[in-house]
Structure 1
Amino acid sequence: MITAILFLNEKGEIVLVRNYRGDIRRSTAEAFRNAIIVKKETKQPIVQIQKSTFFYIRENNIYVVACANGNVNATVIFESLYKLVAAFKAYFGGVFDEDAIQKQYGLIYELMDEAFDFGYPQNIDPDVLKAYIMQGKPLSVQKAQQVSMHVTGASSRPPNIVHQVNQLFIDVIEQVNLLVSSKQTILNAEVIGQINLKVQLSGDPDCIFGFNDKLFLDQHNDSQGHVKRKTNRDTLELDDIKFHQCVKLSHFSKDRTISFIPPDGDFTLMRYRVSERVVKPPFHVVPIIIEHSRTRFVVQVTVTSTFSAHFIATSVVIKIPIPTNSARLQSEVSVGSTKYEPTQHAIVWKVKNFPGGSSNQFRANVQLLASVVQGAPWSKPPVSMQFLVPMATSSGLEVLFMNVSESKLHYHADRFIRYVTRGGNYLIRYPDKVGVGEDRRTGTGGQVGYGGQAAGQFGIAAPKK
């Protein structure tokens, strides 16, 4: 995997080197310095020089460079470098620069030896490293249990936990990322989600969690076991899943069962990603520019909510860019308020409550400075949007059950579920063609979705207790 990790300052001087396999010479580091640092050009983060491949990131005035030979996984290497820098910051009070390296080089070598084994990433999580690499302090039993949990997945629950009320809170939080082209076609759409738990359970409970996972429901039917389909919603296929260390991966690999002994308190049970084939954008945004003269034009933005009228989006913020040479503007909206932000060169449209199945419009008359109209053409940054939709999921994920059993105490645990969808990088580009002529209002009425297809219903998951 990684043959060596180099730390170079902004002049290209070697500050520290950890050679894991002994096959990197000083001349190799000089070659990287001459190719990247001396030329002062923006280059790709992966560079092949001679027979070595360099993967590098920059943090303050330090280049952190991983050197490898052969065909390696670039994603793993970059993730390892960023986690390594995060671990250094955790030890150095949030600071990582040349002075910190020179003052703490002994600790850095110790951390790198624990983080990598013969160049292969092992434990790079700052919380794990801080649990058993301490300066002069003995390792407590509790910290040792935490290390074992991170490495082996074994339960780290302290013994004899007692809660007066046994309850479990489940939060399904999703972030929708969307990029729409100037022709109103979706270029990229994805949902990044996570399921957070707040556990207040006595003893050592065994938990089994289930959602509308297609593969899970295909393997568990009514005649075979304890799982019955309790939803009329479509099943869901996740592209990527990352579980907490407490989840028994052998069970999941065998029959898609998510079973675990949870730690006490708050933690993230799983993270997941869903691609655009099943993502249903909660808002359809259509920006239009109508030009009346060389110094005056109109911007119109129509926003339509595609989810059910039973739900209401809150904290809706639409940022509408305008040219930097704007001299005067006048805006009007069907609902909410607008404010010009000169530092962002944009009009910010805020809507407190946006019901599902409704449409609202923004319209602004923009006057440009005649003296600077002949300058470079406006780049037309995309319209961006932020929002919050309570009790809804854009992916369609729905929690089906959370079974809790404790072999000694035999109690009943209360369960509470909450769904939240947020806007992430939600971007809609202006059209390439600019309309010319009289002012005219243009809207979609919510009948047409992106790419010329009917706007599908936003996936709604009702709360359960």
Structure 2
Amino acid sequence: MLCVCVITGCVTCTVTHDVTAHLIYMWHAAALLSLAVRLLHLEQVLICRNYKGDVDMAEIDHFMPLLMQHEEEGLICPVMSHGSVHFMWIKHSNLYLVATTNKNSNASLVYSFLYKLVEVFTEYFKELEEESIQDNFVVVYELLDELMDFGFPQTTDSKILQEYITQEGAKLEVAKTKVPTTVTNAVSWRSEGIKYKKNEVFIDVIESINVLVNANGSVMSSDIVGSIKLKTMLSGMPELRLGLNDRVLFALTGRDKGKTVVMEDVKFHQCVRLSRFESDRTISFIPPDGESELMSYRINTHVKPLIWIESVIEKFSHSRVEIMVKAKGQFKKQSVANNVEVRVPVPSDADSPKFKTSTGNAKYVPEKNLVVWTIKSFPGGKEFLMRAHFGLPSVENDEMEGKPPITVKFEIPYFTVSGIQVRYMKIIEKSGYQALPWVRYITQSGDYQLRTNV
């Protein structure tokens, strides 16, 4: 069972165990949880909702002392214990969401629910912080009552909740008299009776490339994290089927034509029929209305850095430092990287900056000890150069400043580094209307770092 509370940060709720991959929780073991949200250094309870009362709410007072003790010992752990009570917690902004249990709870499910709470509150209040909780006590209580009932999670989709829990009190009273069909409907993420004059669905395939290059120019680690996002503007209750160039699918059907990809750590929206995907790799679903993330995935492969950086940093004792950075686009010439930012670390005592660039603009950001070189449009195969000159104080700085890496930010439209493709999107609706699917590909930088020798 679960209990949820908000403490200058505390929420208390009670849950039974066993869940599907989509946060449709059917808990079976008796496990009492009390959720609490705290500000970083405060112990005042902001708001509390105890569904079962199996755990004394005073137990939450032990959380902050335990956390501070662990921090002092350098042993930060996501699960802490005090007597027979265990604390499972996450941090969001300057708040803590804490779940307490005195049973052998399924920790992964508890954390899933905590993150779902953050998602719902953020959808409602834009920013989840102490002020937004204090300004919306009534709405928070309403949400806690709908998210969970007597320890059983109920409606956890923020779009459905927004149909009958609004941030205007007058509307809230009227809405209570009529519960949307989505609450009891098998398709809880989509309302019935949706109508559009023009039926369309927009598909965005977005991939982030993570790269770590050592000072010798060797790629130490690389992977691709992708997501497929939808903006659905379809009438009725349509059935959609999405086809990708999935290597496993091609192997199952005996085809092996063209480039295929192997996706790992695939995570779907709850609308996707998992049994169908597991049997024949078909992504079949009734989509939520509006914007949603259909799926996310990871591709663990060796990735050539799309923007290669070479740097020469020379320090002249007691006088100056000179930096030369060369950037080269290592992607196809037909593509263009937009809004490229090359962030080059400089000594903390540098001053009097002077810059010269073959394209774009460079500026000094002293509060971050960085030179930021911005290139609005960077075609594939091109090379650009930036030179920077800084003065140094007359007294030599012998402090060890470390060697922070050069980082790069960019976005390349109409391009995927993995080669993933949407092969088809079939839209089936009983009224038989024709709908247009639109597909867009975007590759962007994730954790993109290049270490330097200096």
Of 167, 180, 183, which residue of structure 2 is paired with 1:144? 180
Runs of 5+ consecutive residues of structure 1 not aligned to the other structure: 223-228, 435-465
Give the deviation of 1:277 after TM superposition.
2.0
In the alignment, is the contact (CA less than 8 A) between 2:361 and 2:375 conserved in 1? yes
Structure 2 counterpart of 1:206, one-letter code: E
Preserved contact between residue 274 and residue 395 of structure 1 (Cα < 8 Å): no
Distance 2:83 2:447 in 1: 39
Deviations along 1:327-365, one digit per CA (max 9) or x if unpaired, are: 234333343332223333322212232222333333333
Deviation of residue 37 (structure 1)?
Answer: 5.7
Pair 64,248 (structure 1): closer, same or farther in 2 beyond 3 Å: closer
Which residue of the partner structure matches residue 374 of structure 2?
Answer: 350
Counterpart Cα distance in 2 of 1:102 and 1:390: 40
For residue 107 of structure 1, report the CA deviation from its aligned partner: 5.8
Matched, 1:378 2:401: yes
CA change 1:286–1:52 in 2 (3 A) is farther
Confirm or deny that 1:232 pairs with 2:255.
Answer: no
1:243 aligns with 2:268: yes
Alpha-carbon distance, 1:100 to partner: 4.6
Deviation digits for residues 54-89 of structure 1, max 9, x if unmatched?
123456776432113465555543443343245456
Is 2:398 the partner of 1:388?
Answer: no
- Specify which of 423, 430, 437 is matched with residue 445 of structure 2: 423
Change (3 A) 1:50 1:25: same
1:50 aligned onto 2:67: no
C-alpha separation between the residues in 1 aligned to 2:33 and 2:364? 53
* Deviation at residue 395 of structure 1 after TM alignment: 2.4
Aligned to 1:370, the other structure's residue is in SS state coil
CA distance 1:103–1:284, change in 2 (3 Å): closer
CA pair 295-46 structure 1, distance change in 2 beyond 3 A: farther
How far apart, CA to CA, are the structure 1 residues paired with 2:32 and 2:310?
Answer: 48
**Deviation for aligned residue 1:278:** 5.2
Q: 2:313 aligns with which of 272, 286, 289?
A: 289
Which among 137, 145, 158 is matched to residue 193 of structure 2?
158
What does 1:172-321 correspond to in 2, within 5 Å? Answer: 172-201=205-234, 204-221=237-254, 232-233=258-259, 235-263=260-288, 266-277=290-301, 279-293=303-317, 295-321=319-345
Query: Quick one: distance in 1 between partners of 2:388 and 2:245?
Result: 44
Contact 2:97 2:114 in 1 (8 A): yes
Aligned length: 416
* Alpha-carbon distance change, 202 to 24 in structure 1, aligned in 2, over 3 angstroms: closer
> 1:115 maps to which residue?
147
Following the alignment from structure 2 to structure 1, what is the Cα–Cα distance between the partners of residues 261 and 221? 19
Q: Distance in 2 between matches of 1:322 and 1:123?
A: 51
Superposition deviation, residue 13 in structure 1: 4.4
One-letter amino acid matched to 1:34: P
Partner of 2:12: none
Aligned to 2:204: 171
Query: Cα distance, 1:423 vs. partner?
Result: 2.0
Q: Tell whether 2:126 aligns with 1:126.
A: no
| Residues 92 and 200 of structure 1, relative CA distance in 2, 3 Å threshold | closer
Please give the per-residue CA displacement for 1:94-141, whole angstroms capped at 9, x wherever unaligned: 56438955983x765553344346656554443343334464223587
* Aligned mates of 1:103, 1:393 — CA distance in 2: 42
Contact persistence 1:320–1:347 (CA under 8 A): yes
Deviation, structure 1 residue 419: 1.1
Number of the residue aligned with 1:453: none
Range 333-342 or range 198-207, more displaced: 198-207
Sort the Cα spacing of 1:37 and 1:359 in 2 relative to 1 into closer, same or farther, 3 A: same
| Contact 1:7–1:64 (CA under 8 A) maintained in structure 2 | yes
Q: Deviations over 1:416-459 (max 9, x none)?
A: 3221112233222222xx4xxxxxxxxxxxxxxxxxxxxxxxxx
Distance 2:295 2:216 in 1: 33
**Which stretch shifts more, 379-388 or 183-192?**
183-192
Stretch of structure 1 that moved more, 390-399 or 189-198: 189-198
How many angstroms apart in 1 are the aligned matches of 2:406 and 2:217?
A: 12
Task: Give the Å deviation of 1:310.
Answer: 2.1
Residue 398 (str. 1) matches residue 421 (str. 2): yes
- Counterparts of residues 64-103 of structure 1 (less than 5 Å): 64-69=97-102, 72=105, 74=107, 76-88=109-121, 96-97=129-130, 100=133
In 1, Cα distance between equivalents of 2:355 and 2:135: 57
Q: TM-score, normalised by structure 2?
A: 0.76
Structure 1 pair 311–285 and aligned structure 2 pair: CA distance change class (3 A) = same
Contact 2:159 2:189 in 1 (8 A): no
Instruction: Tell me if the contact between 1:4 and 1:21 (Cα under 8 Å) persists in the aligned partners.
Output: no
Tell me if the contact between 1:340 and 1:346 (Cα under 8 Å) persists in the aligned partners.
yes
Structure having greater relative contact order (Cα 8 Å, sep ≥ 6): 1
State the alpha-carbon separation in 1 of the partners of residues 240 and 118 from structure 2.
35
Letter in 2 for 1:144: P
SS in 2 for 1:277: coil
Cα distance change, pair 262–111 in 1 and its aligned pair in 2 (3 A): closer
Q: CA deviation at 1:292?
A: 4.0
Offset from partner CA, 1:117-173 (integer Å, 9 cap, x none): 6656554443343334464223587x7144456x645753526x4635x54432222
Deviation larger for 290-299 or 113-122: 113-122
> Distance in 1 between the 2:50 and 2:200 partners?
50
Question: Taking structure 1 as the reference length, what is the TM-score of the superposition?
Answer: 0.74
Contact 1:194–1:269 (CA<8 Å) still a contact in 2?
Answer: yes
Mapped contact 1:386–1:426 kept (Cα < 8 A)? yes
Change beyond 3 A, Cα 1:288–1:73: farther
Deviations 1:391-432 (A, max 9, x none): 1012221111112344543x554443221112233222222x
* Equivalent residues of 2:125, 2:132 under 8 A apart: no
